[in-house]
Structure 1
Amino acid sequence: MAKHLLPLSTFKKGITLPSLVFILAVTFLASFFPQVTGAVLSRVQDWIFINLNWAYVWSVTLFVFFLLALAFSKFGSITLGDNDAVLEYSFFSWISMLFAAGMGIGLMYFSVSEPISHFSDPTFGQLDQVSRAKNAQLYTFFHWGIHAWAIYGVVGLSLAYFAYRYKLPLSLRSCFYPILKERINGPAGDAIDTFALCSTFFGITTTLGFGVVQLNAGLVEIGLMKQTGFSSQIVIVLVIMAISIFSATTGVSKGVKFLSQLNIVSAVALMLFVLALGPTVFLMGSLSEGAGEYLNQFLSLTFNTHAYEPERQPWYFQWTILYWAWWISWAPYVGIFIAGISRGRTIREFIGAVLILPTAFNFLWMTVFGNSAIWFDQHEAAGQLSGMVGNADELLFRFLDYLPAPGVSSSLAIFIIFVFFVTSADSGIFVINSIASQNAKNSPKWQLVCWGMLLALLALVLLNAGGLQSLQTMTLITALPFSVLMILFCYCLVRALSVDSYYYTKEFSPATSYWSGELWKERLQRIVSDKSPENVDHFIGTTVRGALEELAAELNSKDINAEIRFQDIPADVSLTIHHKQIEDFVYGVRNQDRLVSSVLVRERNVPTVKRNQSNFPISYFGDNRVGYNVAYFTQKEIIADVLKQYERFLELSSEIKNEIFTDIASKRRS
C-alpha cells in the first residue's frame, strides 16, 4: 500500500535551496533598499544596453535565421518524441496555451500604449503625422513579431527535442547533453536549472506586480473598486493566486487548458468588437500596408542598431533592446511550458506554428487596438490619448471610452486581463515546480501551493516597498548571459539532430548485401567475436590476403598486371592493378582502431566489446573514397566485392566527363 503513496517531496536540493536563497536575498534588497538597489541595477543595465546592444541584436538575429533554416532543412520532419508519438493536445488547445503563456497579458497592456507611445514620441517629431502613424505600427509589429517568438522557439524546441526524443528531463540542463553528457546530472546541471528557476520566478513576480496595477485601474474604471492602492492590490493578488493555484493543481490538461481556451475566445471576441465598431475600413487597409512594410523592412529592422543616428538610440535602448532582453529573460519560463505541451509535433510544424501563427495574430491584434487608438487620437480625442502615454495602466480603458458600450467592453477587457493573469500564474507555478523537481512525476500538490503562495507574498512585498522596478531591471540584466546559453542551445541541437539523422538513416553494412541464412552460424560467431588487434590482423592475413592473392593470380593469367602488397603488424593488404594512361585501381584492407561508446562497454550483454577501443578491417581505395568494415565477408565474398569495385572503376573510366579524375598521363605532362 505504501508504495502507491505520493512522495513527501520531489524537490531537488541542489536546485531548490540555492534558488530560494537567491530569490529571498534579492527580494530583501529590492524591498528594504529599493532606491539604492534600483540605482545600482539601472546603471548596470544602462551600461549593458549602451555598450552591448549589438550582442542582443546579433543573438536575436541568429535565433530567427537558425529556426528558419531548421524548418526548411532535412531535420524539419523529425518528430518531437518517438517516430510514432501521438499528439497530446488538439491544435486549437495547443495554440491557445502557447498564447496564454507566451505574451497574453502583454497584448492587453501594450496593445494601445505602445503604438500611441511611438506615435507621440519626440524622437520621431520631425516626421509628419501619417509617417509617425506608419512608423508606430511598423515598430510595434517588429517588437511583437517573429523575433520575439524566435527567442521562445529556440528554448522550447531544444527542450522538447531533448526531453521527448532523448528521454531526458524537461529542464534546461538537458539541452547541454551533447557537450556535457552525464555531467548534466552534476553541479553544472544544477546551476543551469537554478538560473532558469530564478529567472522564471522573477519574471512572473514582476508581471504579476505590474499587471495588478493595470487591473486595479480597470476595476476602478467600471466601479467595482473605489480607488487604486495597496489594500485593493492585496485583494486582487490573493484572488488571482487562489484561482491560479487551484488551476495548477488540477493539471495542464484540465485547468490550464480550459482557461487558455476561454481566454483566447474572449480576446478574439473583444478584438472583433473593436474591429466592427471602430474605423473598420481603415484598420483592414492599414493591416495590409503594415504587413507589407514589415516584410519590406524585415532585414533593415533586424540588423539596425541606429549607430549613425545617436539621437534615436535612447528610444532604441528603451524599446527594442529592452524588448529583446525582456523576451530572453522570459524564455526559460515560456520555453519550458510550450515544450511541455508540444510532444508529437514535428520540428517543422513546431517552428511554423510558433513563428507564424502568433505573429499573424499579434499583427491583427496590434492593428485593431493600436491603429484604432491612433485614429481616435487624430479624429475624435484631439490628442488626449497621446497625452496619457505616461499613464499606461489606464490607457486601454480610456481608449474603450471612444467606442459604444464602454462599460461592456471595459468589463470584458478586465475579464481577459484577469484570466490572462491566472493562466500566466498557473502555468508559471507548474513550470517552477517542474524545474525545482527536475520534472519529477506525481509531485505532491502542496509543492504547487507553496510556490503559488510564495509568488503572491513576494509580489505584495515588492508592491508595497516599491521594489518591483529593481527586480525587473535585474531580470533584464540576466538576459545577456542567458542569450549566450541560448546560442549554445542552438549548437547542441544541431549536433544532436545530425546524430539523430545519421542514426535513423544509416544503411546496412555493405557486407550484409551478400548475406543469406545459409552461413548464419558463422556470421553470428564473427559478430560476437572479440575485436582485438590480433584477431583482426589474423583475419586480414588469412581470409583477405588469400582472396586477393587468388584474384591477382587469375588477373595475371589474363595478362592484367596485378600486384599484392602485404604488411604484418598492423595488418595491411592491398591489390593494385597498374595502368599507364589512367589511375591505378587499388583495393586494400587495413587494421584500424576506433573509439567505442563507453555506454556499450558497460553493457554486459554485448560480449564483443571489452574496452573503449575496438579494431576493424576497413577497406580503402585508390581514389581515397571512404571505406567500410569487411569483417563479416567470406573469402569468396571479398573477391566478389573487389570485382564489384573494379567494375565500377572501369565504368567510370569509360565516361569522357570523368577524364579529369582518371587521365593520369595528362597530369604527368602538366
Structure 2
Amino acid sequence: MIFSKFIHNKSSFNPSVITITLLMVIFLVLSTLIFPDGTTDVINWAKASIFKNFSWFYILSFSIFLFFLLILSVSSLGSIKLGANEEEPEFNFLSWLAMLFAAGMGVGLMFFGVAEPLSHYNSTITSGVAEQRQQAALLHTFFHWGIHAWAVYAVIALALAYFGFRYKLPLALRSCFYPLLKDRINGKLGDFIDILALIATLFGIITTLGFGASQLGAGLVSLGFLEESGYGIQIIIICVVMTLAVISAISGVGKGVKILSEINLSLAMLLLIFVLVAGPTLYLLSSFSDNLGTYFSNIINLSFKTYVYESEHTSWFTGWTVLYWAWWCSWAPFVGLFIARISRGRTIREFIFGVLAIPTLFCILWFTVFGNTAIWLDDTIAQGTLRALTSSPEKLLFEFLNYLPMPLISGILALVIISLFFITSADSGIYVLNNIASRDKSVSSPKWQSAMWGVLMAVVSIVLLGAGGLGTLQAMTLIAALPFAVLMIIMCVSLWKGVTADQKYFGAKVTPTSIFWTGDKWKDRLGQMLNQTQEKDILKFLKYTALPAMRELRQELIAVHNLNVEVVQSIAEEEAHIEIIIKKESMRDFMYGIKSVGHDVSDQLINDDHLPHIQHSTTYQPITYFFDGRTGYDVQYMSRTEIIADILKQYERYLSLLDDVGQELMSHEKTELAE
C-alpha cells in the first residue's frame, strides 16, 4: 500500500505495470545469484523448448509482418496519412531518410559486421567452392539484417504513428489495440500489453549492452590500453556507460544527444568508406550489385524456410535466425517509437517504403564492405587467422582492422563509434522504458526514474553475464520476445481494422438524399434523422411515399411516352421491397428498386446517455438497388417528388450508357437471359 502510494505520488509510473515488471526482474536476479546452476538450467530448458516448439512461429510471424506491410502499401489504404489529411510531414524527405538511415546503425552492426559473414563462411550452412560459400554466407547475413528485421520495426512504428497521430491517442503500445479493445486499453488489458512490451524491451536492450561491453573490452585490449578483458572489465564498462547514459537522460539535453548521434553516424560512414577504399574496392562494388540480386532472388524461399527437411542445419537455424528474430522483436518497441516520432505527416505507403527499403539497402552495403573484405583478407592475406576467431566475435573487428592500413587510427575510430552507440542506445532505452511504464505518456518522468532504469539494466546485465555470458542474455531475450511476437500478430489485426474503418469513414460521401434538400421542412427532416427507424416506419414509407411516386411516374411514362413500364411491390414485414421496371426489347430492362434493410446497432451506442434516441438493437433503412447491381443508398428522407427525380436521374444514366459502353454489355446480358 505504501509502495503503491509512493509510486502514484512521486513517479509517472503505472503502479501495476512497474510493480509486476520489477517483481519479475528481481526474482530473476535473486534466482541467478542464489541458485546460479538451477536458474541457468531452467533458462536453457526454456530456450530449448522454444527452439523445438516455436521456431516455426517466429519464421511465419516475420513473413506475415512483411507481407502485411506490402499489402498495405500497394492497396488504396496506402494513401492514408499518419496525421490529419491536410498535415504536412514534420521533416523533409531527405532529412527523414537520413534519420531512418541513422536508426539502422547500432552496436549490432559494429559487432556482427565482420563476425557474422565469417561465421557462416566457416560453418556447415555453406557448401561448394570458396566463391559459392562466400555468396551463401553473405546471403544469410543479409537475410538476418534485411527487410524482415525492418518489417518488425515498421509494424510497431506504423501502429504507434497511426493511432498516435490519426486517432489522437497517446503514443503508447496499448493505443495500437484500440480498434479491438476500445476504452479497455486504459484498464488491465492495457497494463498487460505494457508489461509484455516492457519486459521484452528491457532484455533486448540488456542483450545489446552485453554485446557492446564485450566488444569494447576486446577493443581496449587490441589497441593496447588493457592487457586482458574479463568479466571484471565488462562490469566496469557497463557501469561507466550506464552512468554516462543516466547523466545524459537526467540532464535532458536532447540537442546534445542528437548532435552526438549525428556525429556518430558521420564517423560510422567514415569507417565504412575507409574499409571500402583500403580494401579491394572494385571487388566490393561488384559484390554489392551481385549481393543485391542474390538477396532479392532468394528472399521468398528464406522467408518460410525452417530447415525441417535439412535436420543437420537445425542447430545453426535456431542459434542464428530464430535468435535474431527474437532479438528484433524485443527491440521493436525501442526502434519503433523512434521511427514513429519522426514520421508524422507521411502516408502509409511512403512510410513503408522508407522504413523497409532505405535501412535494408544500407545494411546490405555495410555487410558487403565489412563481410566481403573480411573473407577476402582471410583467404588471401590472413590465411585463416580471422576465421579462427569466430568463437570470440567481440575480437574480430579489431583483428580485421589490423590487416588494413593505419590499424591504430581505424581501431580508435571503431572504439569511439561503439562507445557512442553504446551510450546513445542506453540513453534512448531509458526514455523508451519510461514511456512504456508511465501511466501518462505526455508527462515528463522524474529524474530518479532514469537513474533507476540505468541501475536496473546494469545490474541485470552484469548478473546474467556472470551466470552464463552472452548466451544467457540471448536466451532471456528469446523467452521474453515470444509472447510479444504473439501480441504483434494481434496488433496487425488491430491496425488493419483501424485503417479499413478509417478509409470507410473518410471515404463516406454525403447521402444522395441531401442533393434535393432546399431547407424546406427542415424541422421535419431533423425529427426523422433523430428517430431510430424501425421496420414499421419503412413499410409506411414504402406504402405512402415510394409506391405512389413510382405509380405516378409509371402513369406518365405509359400515357405520354408509350413505354412498357411495370411496378412490382411486396410490402410485407419480411424482405419488403418495391420496383419500377422500364422494359426494352433488345437491351437489359431498367430497374430501380427500394428494399428494407436492417442494421445491427452496437451496445456502445445503445448505452450512450448522449444518444437517447438510440434504444433498439436493430435499425432499418430503405435502400435502393439497381438493374446493374450497383451499391444502393438510403432514401428515407426523400419526398414523393424527390423519389421521382432520383429515379429519372438513374434512368438518364441508363439511357446515356446505351450509346456507349453499356450497349454491348446490356445487349449481351439480354441475349444470355433469353437463352
- Length-normalised TM-score, structure 1: 0.90
CA distance in structure 2 between the aligned counterparts of 1:307 and 1:623, rounded to whole angstroms: 52
Report the counterpart of residue 646 of structure 1 in structure 2: 651
Instruction: Count the aligned residue pairs.
Output: 661
Report the counterpart of residue 171 of structure 1 in structure 2: 172
Report the counterpart of residue 666 of structure 1 in structure 2: 674
Q: Is the 8 A contact 1:400 1:409 kept in 2?
A: yes
CA distance in structure 1 between the aligned counterparts of 2:666 and 2:593, rounded to whole angstroms: 23
Report the counterpart of residue 221 of structure 1 in structure 2: 222
The 5 A counterparts of 1:437-586 are: 437-438=438-439, 439-466=441-468, 469-517=471-519, 523-529=525-531, 531-533=533-535, 535-558=537-560, 560-563=564-567, 565=569, 567=571, 569=573, 572=576, 574-577=578-581, 579=583, 585-586=590-591
Report the counterpart of residue 42 of structure 2 in structure 1: 40
Tell me: CA distance 1:77–1:580, structure 2 relative to 1, closer, same or farther (3 Å): closer
CA distance in structure 2 between the aligned counterparts of 1:402 and 1:420, rounded to whole angstroms: 24
Report the counterpart of residue 4 of structure 2 in structure 1: none
Tell me: CA distance 1:430–1:38, structure 2 relative to 1, closer, same or farther (3 Å): same
> Residue 655 of structure 1: SS of its match in structure 2?
helix
Unaligned runs of 5+ in 2: 1-7
Tell me: CA distance 1:468–1:320, structure 2 relative to 1, closer, same or farther (3 Å): closer
- TM-superposed CA distance for 1:154, in Å, is 1.5
Report the counterpart of residue 132 of structure 2 in structure 1: 131
Report the counterpart of residue 3 of structure 1 in structure 2: none
Give the AA of the match of 2:86: D
- Length-normalised TM-score, structure 2: 0.89
- TM-superposed CA distance for 1:556, in Å, is 4.4
Tell me: CA distance 1:319–1:458, structure 2 relative to 1, closer, same or farther (3 Å): closer
CA distance in structure 2 between the aligned counterparts of 1:419 and 1:70, rounded to whole angstroms: 36
CA distance in structure 2 between the aligned counterparts of 1:655 and 1:91, rounded to whole angstroms: 49
> Residue 592 of structure 2: SS of its match in structure 1?
strand
Report the counterpart of residue 344 of structure 2 in structure 1: 343
CA distance in structure 2 between the aligned counterparts of 1:299 and 1:464, rounded to whole angstroms: 40
Q: Is the 8 A contact 1:248 1:256 kept in 2?
A: no
Unaligned runs of 5+ in 1: 1-5
Tell me: CA distance 1:469–1:317, structure 2 relative to 1, closer, same or farther (3 Å): closer
> Residue 10 of structure 2: SS of its match in structure 1?
coil
Deviations 1:389-412 (A, max 9, x none): 111111111111112221111111
CA distance in structure 1 between the aligned counterparts of 2:393 and 2:118, rounded to whole angstroms: 10
The 5 A counterparts of 1:152-231 are: 152-231=153-232
Q: Is the 8 A contact 1:93 1:257 kept in 2?
A: no
Report the counterpart of residue 141 of structure 1 in structure 2: 142
Deviations 1:519-567 (A, max 9, x none): 6555445444554555544443333233223223334435534335352
Deviations 1:220-256 (A, max 9, x none): 3223344423443333223212222233345595344
Q: Is the 8 A contact 1:583 1:664 kept in 2?
A: no
Q: Is the 8 A contact 2:203 2:480 kept in 1?
A: no
> Residue 426 of structure 1: SS of its match in structure 2?
helix
Tell me: CA distance 1:285–1:14, structure 2 relative to 1, closer, same or farther (3 Å): same
The 5 A counterparts of 1:270-309 are: 270-309=271-310
Report the counterpart of residue 589 of structure 1 in structure 2: 594
Q: Is the 8 A contact 2:219 2:411 kept in 1?
A: yes
Report the counterpart of residue 614 of structure 1 in structure 2: 619
Instruction: Tell me whether 1:657 sits opposite 2:662 in the alignment.
Output: no
CA distance in structure 1 between the aligned counterparts of 2:625 and 2:470, rounded to whole angstroms: 67
Which stretch of structure 1 is more off in the superposition, 381-390 or 26-35?
A: 26-35
Tell me: CA distance 1:477–1:593, structure 2 relative to 1, closer, same or farther (3 Å): same
Give the AA of the match of 2:642: E
Deviations 1:362-404 (A, max 9, x none): 1111111111111211122121111111111111111111122
- TM-superposed CA distance for 1:642, in Å, is 1.7
Report the counterpart of residue 632 of structure 1 in structure 2: 637
Which stretch of structure 1 is more off in the superposition, 102-111 or 549-558?
A: 549-558
Q: Is the 8 A contact 2:196 2:483 kept in 1?
A: no
Tell me: CA distance 1:549–1:573, structure 2 relative to 1, closer, same or farther (3 Å): farther
Tell me: CA distance 1:515–1:418, structure 2 relative to 1, closer, same or farther (3 Å): same
Tell me: CA distance 1:563–1:369, structure 2 relative to 1, closer, same or farther (3 Å): closer
- TM-superposed CA distance for 1:636, in Å, is 0.9
CA distance in structure 2 between the aligned counterparts of 1:97 and 1:256, rounded to whole angstroms: 13
Tell me: CA distance 1:399–1:509, structure 2 relative to 1, closer, same or farther (3 Å): same
The 5 A counterparts of 1:68-147 are: 68-89=70-91, 94-95=96-97, 98=100, 104-124=106-126, 126-147=127-148
Tell me: CA distance 1:562–1:63, structure 2 relative to 1, closer, same or farther (3 Å): same
Which stretch of structure 1 is more off in the superposition, 638-647 or 474-483?
A: 474-483
Q: Is the 8 A contact 2:235 2:462 kept in 1?
A: yes
Tell me: CA distance 1:664–1:296, structure 2 relative to 1, closer, same or farther (3 Å): closer
Instruction: Tell me whether 1:321 sits opposite 2:322 in the alignment.
Output: yes
CA distance in structure 2 between the aligned counterparts of 1:395 and 1:430, rounded to whole angstroms: 32
Q: Is the 8 A contact 1:174 1:184 kept in 2?
A: yes
Tell me: CA distance 1:634–1:255, structure 2 relative to 1, closer, same or farther (3 Å): farther
Report the counterpart of residue 394 of structure 1 in structure 2: 395
CA distance in structure 2 between the aligned counterparts of 1:248 and 1:85, rounded to whole angstroms: 31
> Residue 307 of structure 1: SS of its match in structure 2?
coil
- TM-superposed CA distance for 1:622, in Å, is 5.4
Q: Is the 8 A contact 1:541 1:571 kept in 2?
A: no
- TM-superposed CA distance for 1:79, in Å, is 1.4
Q: Is the 8 A contact 1:531 1:609 kept in 2?
A: no
CA distance in structure 2 between the aligned counterparts of 1:74 and 1:128, rounded to whole angstroms: 47
Give the AA of the match of 1:114: E
CA distance in structure 2 between the aligned counterparts of 1:93 and 1:46, rounded to whole angstroms: 44
Tell me: CA distance 1:167–1:334, structure 2 relative to 1, closer, same or farther (3 Å): same
Give the AA of the match of 1:379: T
Tell me: CA distance 1:570–1:384, structure 2 relative to 1, closer, same or farther (3 Å): closer
CA distance in structure 2 between the aligned counterparts of 1:571 and 1:275, rounded to whole angstroms: 74
- TM-superposed CA distance for 1:497, in Å, is 1.4
- TM-superposed CA distance for 1:117, in Å, is 0.9
Give the AA of the match of 2:16: G
Give the AA of the match of 1:391: S
> Residue 384 of structure 2: SS of its match in structure 1?
coil
> Residue 200 of structure 1: SS of its match in structure 2?
helix
Q: CA RMSD in A?
A: 3.0
Give the AA of the match of 1:242: T
Report the counterpart of residue 5 of structure 2 in structure 1: none
The 5 A counterparts of 1:367-406 are: 367-406=368-407
Tell me: CA distance 1:665–1:303, structure 2 relative to 1, closer, same or farther (3 Å): closer
CA distance in structure 2 between the aligned counterparts of 1:378 and 1:571, rounded to whole angstroms: 80
- TM-superposed CA distance for 1:304, in Å, is 3.0
Tell me: CA distance 1:666–1:14, structure 2 relative to 1, closer, same or farther (3 Å): same
Give the AA of the match of 1:9: S
Tell me: CA distance 1:137–1:643, structure 2 relative to 1, closer, same or farther (3 Å): same
